[in-house]
Structure formats: structure tokens, C-alpha cells
Amino acid sequence: MDAPLAKFALVFAALIHDADHPGVPNVTLIQEETDLAQIYNDRSIAEQHSLRVGFGILLQEKFAQIRHAVTPTWEDCVRFRRMVIDFILGTDIADLIQIQLSKRKRVEVF
């Protein structure tokens, strides 16, 4: 793993992880049948929205120089994006709980 790229991905993820956050938990967005819940299919709604907003900003022309400095190749872009996505989706507590429940169910079955 490219340590400088990973470090920048972590810093970028920290900066955008609550970008344009609606201010309520994902479960509330689902219960209220919000547009965001519909767009993101009730999965990690606030986190996915923050990713869209954050990457949307980074992709603006005024940030082209920093983008090209940090991710000079297509492969670097892909690795950077994957790391940021993983970091931010990893903050969805409800999703983490769901993963743990699924693991327990599989253990019980087998």
C-alpha cells in the first residue's frame, strides 16, 4: 500500500465524512422516507451522501492540480477512491451492527 496516498485518503475522509450531513440518524431518514433514503436505497445514507458531496468538490476544476499531484495515475485514483469509500462507510454504526448480526446468524446456521 502506498503510505502517502493512504494518509491523504484518511485525511480527506476525515474532512468530508459529515459533508452536508442532514443532522439526523440514517434510520430517521429511512422512517421519514426522505429523498436521500430513496437515492441511497436505505443503506449508509448520510455516509454515501457525504462521499458524493466530497468527491464532487474534489473533482471541481479548481482542485485539478492537487488531484493530479496526489493521484497521478488512474490506478492511484482508483486506490484513493476505494480507501476513502471504505473509511467513510466504516463509520456507519448501524451497518456495522447489521454486519455483526449477519455474522452471528451464519455462525448459528453452520
- pLDDT of 107 strictly over 60: no
pTM for this prediction:
0.82
Nearest residue to 9 via CA among 71, 93, 72: 71
Give me the pLDDT at residue 90, please: 87
User: Rounded to whole angstroms, how far apart are CA atoms 17 and 87?
Assistant: 9
**CA–CA separation, 67 vs 59, rounded Å?**
8
The model's pLDDT over 32-89, given as tens digits with 9 standing for 90+, comes to 999 999 999 999 999 999 999 999 999 999 999 999 999 999 999 999 999 999 999 9
How far is CA 61 from its chain centroid? Answer: 22
Q: What is the reported pLDDT for 93? A: 77
